[in-house]
Structure 1
Amino acid sequence: MKKLILITAVTFSVLSCGNNKKDQEGNGISIDGSSTVFPVTAAIAEEFRTEDPDVNVTIGVSGTGGGFQKFAKGDIDIANASRSIKEEEKAIANENNINFIELEVAYDGLAVIINPENDWVQCFTVDQLRKIWEPAAQGTITRWNQINPEWPDEEIHLYGPGVASGTFDYFTEAIMGESGSSRGDYTASEDDNVLVQGVAGDKFGLGFFGLAYFEENRNKLKIVGVDGGQGCIEPTVETVSNGTYAPLSRPLFIYVNSSSIQNNPKVIDFVNFYLNEAPSLLKDVGYVPLTPEEYKREQDKFKNFVEENQQ
């Protein structure tokens, strides 16, 4: 994954990750939201600059929830999201007369990861993950041998995304059956690199985040398969794209503000470029492309959205 590291480093040198106030002048495009979707959008933005170097694309990483907060107020043009927008977020957007479109851009699997020195866990069942992460586990499920008596009598040290993260929402919905349902006594961060460092330095650590971040750091971490009822399956390009890595595979999205495409034609150019170039760039940054038919569907959706909002 050297290319991912290079792209991210270059992107940070040319893109601002500040407060991303919507650029009302010139051709600026402002984006914020999911840390999971960030590498995809950053790679696209870097390639887009070769097509149109005069466009300044700024990308923030405040988590899916944080991105939707800004998006619903009209502060940014595009929101990166690792889940669909919630009803309460839609309501805020409606109050602010924000019309938008949701576009699928990739698939991702959630990686359940442990330290390489952990030699006792080979697979987790969904029931075991629920037992570890459910709200009732806080203060009570604290040791590995409480999950399996054959595992060590040692503390479990948990690492995971913060509550503003779409990854947190997806994991809790998939494992607990209710979005946001989780114990609170774990090391939380919106920055997946913090979680990588935490588990990589902790023999008794356990965490989860997007598969791409594991791929980038596989020399520091160990991935664990998940048994969703069909046997133990690890997330790969194949198992994520064909849906066998269940229930921890998901689509990733961008959301586009209609007023942005009305006021700034460069936003239209950027989104069209995104949907055209994503298939060739995604594997380089550790994500799974949609099928050609699915990209055509999203391109047609966006074309219709543009036509409706330019009348």
Structure 2
Amino acid sequence: MKFIFSAVVLSLFFAGCSEKLETPTKGKAVVYCDESVYPLVSVLADSFNTLYPDAEISVKRVTAREAIARLVNGESEIAIAARGLNEEEESAALANKIDYKTVKFVYDGIAVVAGFDFPNVISFDSLLAIIKGENSGYTAVLPGINSSVYEFLKYDVFEGQEIASAVLTDSDSAVIAAVLRERKSIGLVSWLNAVGETRLKKIEIGAREQIRAENLYFQPHPGFFVQNLYPLTRLVSVYLAEINIGTASGFTTFLTSNIGQAKALEYRFGPAAVPVKIRE
């Protein structure tokens, strides 16, 4: 009788485990997402949850720094950011024994916005001069130090140097508001937050290195992002630290599928996970 009871208990135990087993399309995952791509990721999470009723993907809108901090501190299995990890974050991942993989998601860029009396184009060197405070005529306005915009400029453009001369705000929307108030300023914001902005114009930027006799200028556009021609192009990546192949992995696959990449193009990002032909 004792043996029979034990067998029944064990069978119920394994049955319970089986019911709670997480799969790529069944289970829960919280995605900490850089605000630069939050609207796109949020829409795709809704689509994933609708397509797979047993899945529950929640997307938290945070700064790039917080998204990555959650990952390297072992608080999240998945983070999405428009920049790579810096040395401090890599060290934290190593210290906390976080083994993560990086998956390409989309390309975007940092847009330069200004009033309509500002020139339509600016050379890359002239842009840097404004950001560094070397042009007394204009002031650069940026989102805060924890944003992916600031971190990208700091590490990719200024080789790790802080941008001391720029005016810092707490968000892209605050940058736009500041530029609207102050005519002698330019703003640098995530592309997604500049796309629908009609009160300011998007400035075309000269190539980082001019290799032709005539200067080349590029507008922020998915085609130029994909070809890395736009001088402030960024790669947005999914950082996955899931031990087993669960719902976070399933959602990552969905983001990089044809469905996810097509939706990214609708939002004016450059697909990074599938071949694409982009027309105007």
Q: TM-score range by the shorter chain?
A: 0.7 to 0.9
Q: Please tell me whether residue 170 in structure 1 is matched to residue 157 in structure 2.
A: no
Q: Give the corresponding residue for 2:240.
A: 256
Within the candidate set 236, 245, 249, 1:268 is matched to 249
Secondary structure of the structure 1 residue equivalent to 2:149: helix
Q: Distance in 2 between matches of 1:53 and 1:199?
A: 44
Residues 45, 59 of structure 2: 8 Å contact kept? no
Q: Distance in 1 between matches of 2:63 and 2:123?
A: 28
Q: Distance in 2 between matches of 1:45 and 1:106?
A: 16
Q: Give the corresponding residue for 2:183.
A: 203
Listed one character per residue, the Cα deviations across residues 140-188 of structure 1 (whole Å, up to 9, x for unaligned) are x4731xxxxxxxxxxx343212111222122234443x13431255032
Counterparts of 1:1-311 in structure 2, within 5 Å, are: 27-116=27-116, 119-134=117-132, 137=133, 141=134, 143-144=136-137, 156-176=138-158, 178-189=159-170, 191-217=171-197, 219-228=198-207, 229=210, 230-246=215-231, 248-259=232-243, 261=244, 265-276=246-257, 277-290=259-272, 292-293=274-275
Q: Give the corresponding residue for 1:149.
A: none
Secondary structure of the structure 1 residue equivalent to 2:163: coil
Q: Distance in 2 between matches of 1:245 and 1:173?
A: 17
Residues 113, 222 of structure 1: 8 Å contact kept? yes
1:71 is displaced (CA, Å) by 0.9
1:210 is displaced (CA, Å) by 1.9
Q: Distance in 2 between matches of 1:55 and 1:28?
A: 6
Letter in 1 for 2:44: I
How has the CA–CA distance of structure 1 residues 66 and 203 changed in structure 2, closer, same or farther, with 3 Å as cutoff?
Answer: same
Secondary structure of the structure 2 residue equivalent to 1:159: strand
Structure 1 residue runs of 5 or longer lacking an equivalent are 1-25, 145-155, 295-311
Q: Give the corresponding residue for 1:6.
A: none
**TM-score of the pair, normalised by structure 1:** 0.71
How has the CA–CA distance of structure 1 residues 70 and 293 changed in structure 2, closer, same or farther, with 3 Å as cutoff?
Answer: same
Listed one character per residue, the Cα deviations across residues 190-230 of structure 1 (whole Å, up to 9, x for unaligned) are x322223332344333111222221122x122011111224
Q: Looking at CA atoms only, which structure, 1 or 2, has the larger radius of gyration?
A: 2
Q: Give the corresponding residue for 1:4.
A: none
Q: Percent identity?
A: 18
| Structure (1/2) with the larger strand percentage | 2
Q: Distance in 1 between matches of 2:142 and 2:128?
A: 14
Secondary structure of the structure 2 residue equivalent to 1:41: helix
The number of aligned residues is 244
How has the CA–CA distance of structure 1 residues 179 and 36 changed in structure 2, closer, same or farther, with 3 Å as cutoff?
Answer: farther
Q: Distance in 2 between matches of 1:53 and 1:180?
A: 47
**RMSD after superposition:** 2.3
| Structure (1/2) with the larger helix percentage | 1
Residues 242, 249 of structure 2: 8 Å contact kept? no
